[in-house]
Structure 1
Amino acid sequence: MRRTAVCILIGFAWLFLALGPAERAWAQGHQPGTDPGPGFVRGTVIDAQGTPLAGVNVTVRAGKDGTSTDSTGAFQLLLPTGTYRLVFTRVGYEPAARDVEISSGRTATLDVALSLSPYTLNEIVVEERTSAPSRTATTVQRIEPAAIRGQDAAAVSDLGLLIPGTHVQTNSRGQTLLYFRNAGDRQTAQFFDGALLNVPWDNRVDVSLIPAGVVESITVAKGTVPVRYGPNTIGGAVNVQSRMLDVPGDRVELQSQIGTAGLRRGMATYLRRSGPWDVTAAVQHASHGDQPVPDEADLPFSQPDADRRVNTDRTLTSAFVRGSYRFDGKAQVGVSALHVDASQGVAPESHVDPAEARVRYWRYPTWKKSMLMASGRAPLGEQIVLRGALWGSRFEQDIYQYQSVAYDALTETQNDRDWTGGTRLLLTRQGETGSLTAFGTFLRTQHRQAIVPYGPQGAEADSVEIFGQRLYNVGLEGDLELTDLLTASGGISWDGTATPTTGPFPARGAFSAVNATLGLTATWSTGWTVRTTAGRKTRFPTMRELFGAALGKFVPNPNLSPVTAWIAEAGVQRQTGRVQGGATLFLSRTTDAIDQRTFQSGPNAGREQRINLGGSRVVGVEVTGAVRPVDALTLDGHLTWSRPRGLPDGGDAQKLDEKPAWVGTGTATWTPGKLTFTGQLHHTGGTYARTEANTFTRLPRAWIVDLRAAYDLSIGAAWSSELFIRVDNLTDDATYLQLGLPGPGRQTRAGLSVTL
């Protein structure tokens, strides 16, 4: 802890010292009486009720330059001397334009209020693509474009720590997953423009392989998630929204990065809005070698190199294209395609002695995901809107299991191929005091796996197994304004699943369940919001939990039962011009929770199996806040405490595996002139891990410091550019969320972005 504090002080001293010479040089170059220099425009964007609006796009020069408002609604632009028209846009609000005159070395102030739009463009199908105040009492949080850009992220996993109550964990399979409020990894649905990203075989997706460069914003629903999000959403739902221009014009963006472990990343993006057409296209390539080992990491086995974590290299190539057309009658249709092609290694569990237990020496030479999506909206009169989406995806994954940490001799391979098709329809009627939505989601998937054992003579005869599943979700959801201050919301759905194809296992019966939510929200004009909600949700066992052996690591259990959760939360939030904050109490009580055990003896000794516990309970509080004490400084952060416990039948409460009691992130952003300095502090603590002997051991706390410095290189009105350097994990601490699998050590990156 002492070393961490010293490193933090050194880091911020570096930021302070870096500021002085840069600011003096800027001031000396723009003294009165010399050649005209640039000036600032600063201000705040609010809605009609005076609430600050984050994520508002502020653009000049037909969308070729600009910024977006931060979490307190504030923005700042540095522009050459002259007169400009600034355009303020945010999906769900009417655009606004203001003229401003920029004088050399001076700061102009411009405050703007936006009004709600009567309809929204480029919506998603899970919910309207709008950031208008929501009537639902559920916790809904949005990661804005400005915060996303500041992370310099290659993948969605790099953005996870910005989400309150979230920890990001790379498991022993090499998958990087998001966990909300200590909910299970298979209890969260992830969408891309309304289409399901999860691979239904395991109801998960590796978010470290989903490119971040095409992301406009991320919307997260937690707690009592609305039932329209479909089945298996006990833990939450995430919708990744692709990028688009909000004003007519076109834009070309080029980005490049280099860094530790041979990091190389390049990306090109083209955006255009012309008449009724919107077009977005993006390509990205990123790669890195084995990641650095953090200081004092305890890796007694399967780690031959003291400096580089064995088998943690990765290569990622992606392409995305999207086009949409807006009709005169406010209807819209869009088609998009996403393809990701990756390969990577998997760090071995270095707390396990390979002479005594089985260790995963895995590589993924192939990881491919292709998605084709179509969506649209059509008004059916003045008060009724029909929305729909249709998507198909193909997932291809090869797993190579090696004999040892040398990774030079195969023992077995598994080739997975998944085909999934889905559709979602929502019919909404909007009244004067509320709305009612009827919805339906239908999904069908097939999983094919071929396992090839390797002997002294090489590959032997393979075995092929095919599994199939169907999922559906139908119901009603609505909201009603009870008084000027109080709104009720709720929904009910019928969810079900069937597995008509079960490979070599006996046929299983279908499962179905009723899910329901109910909530109340009270909002005052003074900026206060109070809400409470409760509900019942179900999560069905995945095909992999029922039938998967993971190359001999697990013993299948086709008799697993669905998980049922009773969820409740109550929250309060306050927003003013420079300060916003909130706190949410949450509770989740499940029955038949799915956990795992390790066999201690018999023919399956050392192997694991998933089992139903009597249940589990998670209770906690989530606190968020942001403040802008001066125009150039923003402080924001979140901290969550929770107490996760397993509740076995007839036994005492026990700890739950790999569930941190504390997670939090604090961010300070300082923008003096053309410089931007950002410091972040991430904390995890109170985590317990299950050992091979089915006992629990406490993992060490982690305090991770990230620093970033950026300089605006924009010259004139033709183009804008930024140069940055960042250090992640400045203190080189080890983050443990699982035994034998620490997070990476200190990493440095530098990059350049150019917008034409």
Structure 2
Amino acid sequence: MSRISKRKLPWMLAAAVSSTAGYAAEEPVFELGRVDVTARGERIPAGTETLDAEQIEQASRLTVGAALDMLPGVNISKVGPRNEEMVYVRGFDMRQVPLLIDGIPVYVSYDGYVDLGRFTTFDLGAIDVQKGYSTVLAGPNTLGGVVNLVSRRPQSEFEGNIGGGLMFDRRFANNGYQGNFNLGSNRGMWYIQASGSYLERDFYTLSDAFRGVPGQAPGRRNNSSHRDRKINLKIGLTPNATDEYSLNYINQQGTKGNPPYAGTDPTQTARYWRWPYWDKESVYYISRTQLGDDSYVKLRAYYDRYKNALSMYDDATYSTQLKKTSSNSSYDDHTWGASAEVGTKLFSANTLKFAAHVKNDFHHEINPGKPDQHFEDTTLSFGLEDTHEFTDRFSAQAGVSYDRRIARRAENVSASNQLIDFPKDNVDAWNPQIGFVYKTSPTGKVHLGVAEKSRFPTIKDRYSYRMGTAIPNAGLKPERATNVELGYSESIAPGTTGTVNLFYSDIRNLIQGASIPASACSNPPCTQMQNVGHVVAQGVEVSLNSQIGDSVEVGGNYTYLNRQNRSDPSIVLTDAPRHKLFLYGKWSITSAVALSGDTEFTSSRVSSSDGRRVAAGFGIANAKLAWKVVRNVTAEFGVRNIFDRNYAYTEGYPEAGRNYYVNVNYAF
């Protein structure tokens, strides 16, 4: 998009993006949407990482995946063949670390994944990440942790921000724009919040160091457009100081291209794919009611619908679908569920909590020329958690959950194009855990957690033919992991804090593709998903943050991750680098002008399980200058990938070169 239409320009100039001017005095976080446990104000698990809205905005991270990449133990990954933004948490993928919004599961029913590139950050109050040891009250499938997106909740009578901005490539060609608003009012007995955002990019331009390959010339990346719209509405009642009742609605509408393979591996073929729509809609209710002085009940109920369409074309013209591999496919999935959490103080130092969850997943697969297929699963989870404060300095928490998945419907298509039933198998899992926190000083603490976790195989894991390259396996068992974490945090000096976490995970029954005779598949080579994997992941996370005087803030984190495939070393573990270093800084030059920036260094990462394809390590840097023009208006100019590095998260799928943005925001 080299020019902006006259229709869009007035709205953009009036609406203008990110909010450096800040929000109300209190953070606008919807505390009812959190799922962690508290004891004397201390959050347990003690290793929970949180990004607040100010941190996300300061770094201008527009999507959830980009924001999470700032955290220790978390690395962003781009699933190149599908153009999906994912993260790995200590080596666990997003099927094993479910995504929640205000404690509501929103991952895709069919495969357990979710494209974080479709989730913008403008309407978030915070992001909480529990790694390894996570509360059993969060529900099932938390093999490697939980990511919870916490929405906003207004704190004052009228507050908000309205913003917008423009994006430019390294040649200063305008290639995108964005706009957002957050408006809220808290009237004491009730509150209302409305948020919306629009993010569009027509293309991105590759680094000048990219010399081109067959199918991808230097310059603009082929088929790299996307558009995302989101509305988030909330209304709540707060009749007294302890009770709250909230109704929420989120509508996301997206469309995206899929840049084709642009690497040098001759075994890889380009996919000419587009998603005409990627839409998600959620409505959910959350409440908390105090029962006497020492007890409460918290209820959640939700309905979530996900629809997408994939168009697969013959070539880069994106005009014909004549090949066997070219067609249209669409999903129409929905989920409904509910949970109840009850907590009570048995005595002053002890809190007991119980949670029950039910989740019903429905997958509807539509393929031209074949009967529609339907799949249905019901998942139950029951969690019990007890927190005991032995002294002012020492507390412990023990928990256990029982999870069960019931396969209710699974339809196959026979060779005669008739619907028949797949075999259906029900599975369950027990998940015990225990954690300890000891305060070593008024500002320091040590924590230790040991957790046994599980993940149920998804509908895709069990029943997908994977375009003729696989045979289904309805009898898959749950993946299992034993996660151990030992951590220490302390205030090293005034304004400076440091944290060290050691972690270890022993992962068993890992679901991997196992080779079977080629004659079993219509499009060999042939695999079947089986519980054959045994992986050990271990490492260390180090974080340091410092406020130097009133004007300078610096910090960063380093992660070392070592994963070993104990069951079959010839199958290489992919997409998570061994080393990752993230650094950031902010200098408030005057009360009206601030300069901020961050940089990331990662080692190489393997992109294919045979080890042939490797994305090289890289270092990238970003910077932003913010100017408070008047009291509530802030203008920004930013540069991403300052040094125009040619880098990729997945081999053959290069990222954008140097690019720029300008934003204007009005906050009140």
Q: TM-score by structure 1 length?
A: 0.79
Is 1:341–1:369's contact at 8 Å kept on the other side of the alignment?
yes
Aligned to 1:677: 595
Q: In structure 2, how many angstroms separate the alpha carbons of the residues matched to 1:297 and 1:584?
A: 38
**CA-to-partner distance for each residue in 1:301-341, whole Å, 9 max, x for gaps?**
432x3111111100111111101010126211010100001
Q: For residues 690-748 of structure 1, what are the alpha-carbon distances to aligned partners after superposition, in whole Å with 9 as ceiling and x for unaligned?
A: 26xx3445431110100111101124xxxx01100111111222333322122222221
Q: Which residue of 2 aligns with 1:577?
A: 494
Structure-2 separation of matches of 1:506 and 1:704: 48
Give the one of 185, 188, 196 matched to 1:272.
185
Counterparts in 2 of 1:311-330, with a 5 A limit? 311-328=223-240, 330=242
Aligned to 2:639: 727
- Partner of residue 390, structure 1: 301
- 1:113-152 matches, cutoff 5 A: 122-124=31-33, 126-127=35-36, 133-134=41-42, 136-152=44-60
SS of alignment partner, residue 408 of structure 2:
strand
* 3-state SS of paired residue (1:713): strand
Alpha-carbon displacement from aligned partner over 1:44-75 (angstroms, at most 9, x marks no partner)? xxxxxxxxxxxxxxxxxxxx99747xxxxxxx
> Which position in structure 1 is the counterpart of 2:26?
89
Instruction: Quote the residue 1:19 is aligned against.
Output: none
Match of 2:259 in 1: 347
Structure-to-structure mapping, 1:304-703, within 5 angstroms: 305-328=217-240, 330-351=242-263, 359-410=270-321, 411-430=326-345, 431-452=347-368, 461-504=369-412, 506-552=422-468, 555-575=471-491, 577-596=494-513, 603-606=522-525, 609-648=528-567, 651-652=568-569, 655-673=572-590, 674-690=592-608, 694-703=610-619
Aligned to 1:405, what secondary structure does the other structure show?
coil
Residues of 2 paired with 1:232 and 1:540: CA distance? 6
Q: Which residue of 2 aligns with 1:250?
A: 158
Q: Which residue of 1 aligns with 2:623?
A: 707
Deviations 1:139-183 (A, max 9, x none): 201112211221334322231222221111120212111211111
SS at match of 2:596: strand
Q: What is residue 8 of structure 1 aligned with on the other side?
A: none
Counterpart AA for 2:608: R
Offset at residue 644 of structure 1 (A):
0.9
Per-residue deviation, 1:619: 0.6
Counterpart for residue 201 of structure 1? 110
Report 1:5-24 matches (<5 A): none
Q: Name the SS of the counterpart of 1:469 in structure 2.
A: strand
Match of 1:230 among 135, 139, 158: 139
Q: Which of the pair has the greater relative contact order for Cα pairs under 8 Å at 6+ separation?
A: 2
Residue 654 to residue 398, structure 1, CA distance change in 2 (3 Å): closer
Q: Distance in 2 between matches of 1:65 and 1:287?
A: 21
Q: Work out whether residues 655 and 696 of structure 1, in 8 Å CA contact, stay in contact via their aligned partners in 2.
A: no
- Which residue pairs with 1:37 in the alignment? none
Which consecutive unaligned segments of at least 5 residues does structure 2 have? 1-18, 170-174, 413-420
Write the distance in 2 (CA, Å) between the matches of 1:702 and 1:519: 37
2:331 and 2:158 map into 1 onto residues whose CA distance is: 40
Question: What amino acid is the match of 2:367?
Answer: I
1:244 CA drift (Å): 2.1
Query: Quick check: 1:438–1:476 contact (8 Å CA) kept in 2?
Result: yes
Look up the equivalent residue of 2:110 and give its one-letter code. Answer: W
How far, CA to CA, are the matches of 1:721 and 1:596 in structure 2? Answer: 54
Q: Distance in 1 between matches of 2:663 and 2:516?
A: 49
Contact 1:125 1:424 in 2 (8 A): no
Would you say the 8 A contact 2:464–2:470 is kept in 1? Answer: yes
Q: Is the 8 A contact 2:94 2:114 kept in 1?
A: no
Q: Which residue of 2 aligns with 1:112?
A: none
Question: 2:417 is matched with which residue?
Answer: none
Could you say if the C-alpha distance between residues 610 and 359 of structure 1 is closer, same or farther in structure 2, counting changes exceeding 3 Å? Answer: farther
| Alpha carbons of structure 1 residues 652 and 358: separation in structure 2 relative to 1, 3 Å | closer
Q: Pick the aligned partner of 1:220 from 125, 129, 140.
A: 129
Q: Is the 8 A contact 1:560 1:611 kept in 2?
A: yes
Q: Of 140, 148, 159, which residue of structure 2 is paired with 1:239?
A: 148
* Distance in 1, Cα, partners of 2:142 & 2:399: 14
**Which ranges of structure 1 fall in alignment gaps of 5 or more residues?**
1-63, 69-86, 93-120, 453-460
Separation in 2 of the partners of 1:445 and 1:319? 24
Distance 1:597 1:299 in 2: 35
Distance, in Å, in 1 between the alignment partners of 2:213 and 2:374 is: 39
Residue equivalent to 1:745: 657
Amino acid at match of 1:672: I
User: Is residue 2:205 matched to residue 1:292?
Assistant: yes
| 3-state DSSP of counterpart to 1:185 | coil
State how far apart, in whole Å, the 2-side matches of 1:320 and 1:405 are: 36
CA displacement, residues 561-592 of structure 1 (integer Å, 9 cap, x when unaligned):
32111110100000253000100000011112
Cα offset for 1:122? 4.8
Distance 1:657 1:311 in 2: 25
Q: How far 1:616 moved relative to its partner? A: 0.4
* Structure 2 CA distance for partners of 1:174 and 1:167, relative to 1, 3 Å: same
Cα offset, 1:468, TM superposition: 0.8
**Alpha-carbon contact 2:234-2:249 (below 8 Å) kept:** yes
Alignment of 1:26-175 (within 5 A): 67=22, 89=26, 122-124=31-33, 126-127=35-36, 133-134=41-42, 136-171=44-79, 172-175=81-84
Distance 1:598 1:709, change over 3 A: farther
- For 2:176, the equivalent position in structure 1 comes to 263
Shift of the 141–498 alpha-carbon distance from structure 1 to 2, 3 Å rule, reads same
RMSD: 2.5
User: What is residue 118 of structure 1 aligned with on the other side?
Assistant: none
Query: 1:283 maps to what in 2?
Result: 196
Task: State the alpha-carbon separation in 2 of the partners of residues 428 and 559 from structure 1.
Answer: 37
Asked if structure 1 preserves the Cα contact closer than 8 Å seen for 2:296 and 2:344, the reply is yes
CA distance in 1, matches of 2:588, 2:661: 20
> Is the CA contact (8 Å cut-off) linking 2:301 and 2:338 kept in structure 1?
yes
- Aligned twin of 1:75: none
Offset, 1:670: 0.5
Partners of 1:539 and 1:234 lie apart in 2 by 5
The residue identity in structure 2 corresponding to 1:285 is: Y
SS at structure 2 position matched to 1:147? helix
Residue 101 (structure 2) aligns with: 192
Cα drift, residue 417 of structure 1: 0.4
Q: Are the counterparts in 2 of residues 290 and 313 from structure 1 also a CA contact under 8 Å?
A: yes
Q: Percent identity?
A: 20
